[in-house]
Amino acid sequence: MSQRPFQQVDVFTETAGYGNPLAVVLDGRGLDDEAMQRFARWTNLSETTFVLPPSEAARAQGADYQVRIFTPGGELPFAGHPTLGSCHAWLRQGGQPQRADEVVQECRVGLVRIRRDGSGAQQRLAFAAPPLTRSDPSPAVLSQVARALGLKPQQVLAAQVLDNGPVWMGLLLDHPQTVLALQPNHLELKALGQKVGVVAIEHPEVRTGLIVRSNREARAFGQNQRMAPPVQDATAPSLEVRAFAAPIGVPEDPVTGSLNASLAQWLIADGHAPREYIAAQGTCLDRAGRVHIRCDDSQQVWVGGASVTCIEGTVDL
Catalytic residues: 47
Q: In angstroms, how far apart are the furthest CA atoms of the chain?
A: 62
* Crossing angle for the helix pair 80-92 and 257-269, to the nearest 10 degrees: 120
- Cα-trace Rg, the chain: 19
Contact 127, 112 (CB under 8 A): yes
Backbone angles phi, psi at 16, to 5 degrees: -55, 135
Cα–Cα dist 307/253, whole Å: 17
Burial (CB count within 10 angstroms: exposed 0-12, middle 13-18, buried 19+), residue 96:
exposed
Q: Residues 213, 216, 218, 223: is their CA dihedral positive or negative?
A: positive
N-terminal to C-terminal alpha carbon distance within the chain? 5
Cα–Cα dist 249/105, whole Å: 25
Cα–Cα dist 275/283, whole Å: 23
